[in-house]
Structure 1
Amino acid sequence: MVQSDTPVLALRGVSKRFGAVQVLTGVDLDVHAGQVVALVGDNGAGKSTLVKTIAGVHPIDEGTIEWAGKQVHLNRPQDAQALGVATVYQDLALCDNLDVVANLFLGRELIRGGRLDEVAMEKRAKELLDTLSIRIPSVRIPVAALSGGQRQVVAIARALIGEPKIVILDEPTAALGVEQTAQVLDLVERLRDRGLGVILISHNMADVRAVADQVAVLRLGRNNGVFPVATTSHETIISAITGATDNAVTRRQARVADANIQASAEATK
Structure 2
Amino acid sequence: MTSDILPPLPVDAPVILEMQHISKSFGPVTALVDVSLKLRKGEVLALVGDNGAGKSTLIKTMSGFHAPDGGKMFFNGKETHFASPRDARALGIETVYQDLALIGDLSVYHNMFLGREQRRRFLGFNLLDNERMRELSRSYLDTLGIAIPSVNSTVDMLSGGQRQCIAVARSIYSSPTVLILDEPLAALGVRESAHVLGLIQNLRRQREVSVVLIVHNYNQIFEVCDRINFLHSGEIVLDAATSETSEEELIRIVKSGLGKRAILAAEQEIGPISPIELRN
Q: Which residue of 1 aligns with 2:50?
A: 42
User: Take 1:243 and 1:10, find their aligned partners in 2: how far apart are those partners?
Assistant: 28
Code of the residue aligned with 1:239 in structure 2: it is R
Q: Shift in Å at residue 149 of structure 1?
A: 0.7
Q: Shift in Å at residue 192 of structure 1?
A: 2.0
Counterpart selection for 2:164 from 147, 152, 157:
152
Q: Which residue of 2 aligns with 1:71?
A: 79
Counterpart selection for 2:184 from 143, 163, 172:
172
Radius of gyration: which is bigger?
1
Equivalent residues, number: 245
Q: Is the 8 A contact 2:204 2:224 kept in 1?
A: no
Code of the residue aligned with 2:247 in structure 1: it is H
The 10-residue stretch of structure 1 (215-224 or 138-147) with the greater mean CA deviation from structure 2: 138-147
Code of the residue aligned with 2:221 in structure 1: it is V
Where does structure 1 differ by over 4 angstroms across 4 or more consecutive aligned residues? none
Q: Shift in Å at residue 18 of structure 1?
A: 1.0
User: Deviation per CA, 1:87-137, whole angstroms, max 9, x where unpaired?
Assistant: 110111211111110001111101111111112211221222122221112
Q: Sequence identity of aligned pairs in percent?
A: 44
1:74-153 pair list within 5 angstroms: 74-113=82-121, 114-153=126-165
Q: Is the 8 A contact 2:13 2:41 kept in 1?
A: no
Q: Is the 8 A contact 2:46 2:212 kept in 1?
A: yes
Q: Which residue of 2 aligns with 1:201?
A: 214
Q: Shift in Å at residue 243 of structure 1?
A: 4.0
Question: Where does the alignment leave 5 or more consecutive residues of structure 1 unmatched?
Answer: 246-269
Say whether residues 1:26 and 2:34 are aligned partners. Answer: yes
Alpha carbons of 1:243 and 1:27: their partners in 2 closer, same or farther (altered >3 Å)? farther
Instruction: Give SS of 2:89's match.
Output: helix
Code of the residue aligned with 1:201 in structure 2: it is I
User: Take 2:59 and 2:90, find their aligned partners in 1: how far apart are those partners?
Assistant: 16
TM-score when scaled to structure 2?
Answer: 0.84
Say whether residues 1:212 and 2:220 are aligned partners. Answer: no
Q: Which residue of 1 aligns with 2:235?
A: 222
User: Take 1:242 and 1:208, find their aligned partners in 2: how far apart are those partners?
Assistant: 17
User: Deviation per CA, 1:24-65, whole angstroms, max 9, x where unpaired?
Assistant: 112111111221100000111100000100111111111111
Code of the residue aligned with 2:232 in structure 1: it is R
User: Take 2:13 and 2:70, find their aligned partners in 1: how far apart are those partners?
Assistant: 25
Counterpart selection for 1:61 from 69, 73, 92:
69
The 10-residue stretch of structure 1 (131-140 or 221-230) with the greater mean CA deviation from structure 2: 131-140
